[in-house]
Amino acid sequence: MLEQYSRVSAVAGPQDLRLEDFEREGVRVAERRYGARDQIFAPGDPDGQLYFLLEGTVRLYRIYGRYKEATVALLKDGGVFGELTLEETSWQTAFAEAVTDARVLTVRKSTLTEVIKRRPEFALKLFSSFSERLKQSDEVIESLLEREVAARLATLLLRLGDRFGEPDGPDTVLNVRLTHQDLANMIVSTREAVSKVMSEFQRDGLIEVRNRRISITPELAALS
C-alpha cells in the first residue's frame, strides 16, 4: 500500500464527492493505493476517518457464525465507505477489501465536521453519498428475504449489471471478475449452490461466461 497527499481531479457520479470538492474547501486528503485482495480495514480498527473510492472496486463484508462471509456492498469509483457517521467514538464493524487495484482517499471525520458547518452544499453531497451506500445495504438485505438461490442470484447479477455493466448489443457484460465463491458470499449461499445455478443459467441461455466475465441477457430479469 502506498500513501500520498493528493489534490488532483477525478471523475465521479453526480451524487459523489469529487476531489475538487475537497480542494475547493481546502481539505487535506490522504490518497492510498491498494492492490487486489489487500485489506483496507477490519472490525475493531479505529474509526476516525471516511474513505472515498477514486478508482477500482472495493468489497465490504462481515463474518457471521463460524467463518461465514456475507458481502454487504460492492463499491466502484466514487463510493464512500467506513462507518457512516461523523462521530469518532466507534470502531469499524466490517471488513473492507480491494477487489482490484484501488485508489482511496481518506479524510478525518473531525475535518469533515468542520467543513459541513460552513458549507451546506458540501454537507448535501456528503449525505447523498451516505444515502447511496445505505441503499446498497438495503438492497442486499431485501434480496435475501425468503427467496430461492436462483432468484437471489439473478437479482444480484442484474444489480451488478446496473453498477458494473457495459452494453454488448442487447446484453450486459460485468466489468469485474467474480468467482462463484464471491457470488455466494454476496447472497449468503454456498459455492456449490451458486455453481449449480450458474450452470442452469448458462444452459438456459440467460448468461454467458467468457474469461471469467459474466454476460447477462435481458431474459434474466424474469427470474429476479
Condensed to tens digits (0 to 9), the pLDDT of residues 30-72 reads 999 999 999 999 999 988 899 999 889 898 988 876 667 788 8
Domain that holds residue 179: 149-223
Q: How far is CA 144 from each of CA 24, 71, 184, rounded to the nearest angstrom?
A: 41, 12, 12
Asked if 75 and 53 count as a contact pair (C-beta separation under 8 A), the reply is yes
The better pLDDT of the pair 219, 117 is held by 219
The number of folded domains in the chain is: 2
Q: Are 83 and 47 in contact (CB under 8 A)?
A: yes
Query: Are 20 and 126 contained in the same domain?
Result: yes
Q: pLDDT tens digits for 93-102?
A: 899 999 889 9
CATH value at residue 175: 1.10.10.10
86-95, 112-121, 133-142, 197-206 — most confident range: 197-206
* Residue from 113, 196, 122, 123 nearest 153 by CA: 196
> Which residue has 432468484 as its cell numbers?
151
Pair (48, 98) in one structural domain: yes
Choosing from 143, 163, 181, the residue where a domain stops is 143
Last residue of one domain, picked from the residues 143, 176, 192? 143
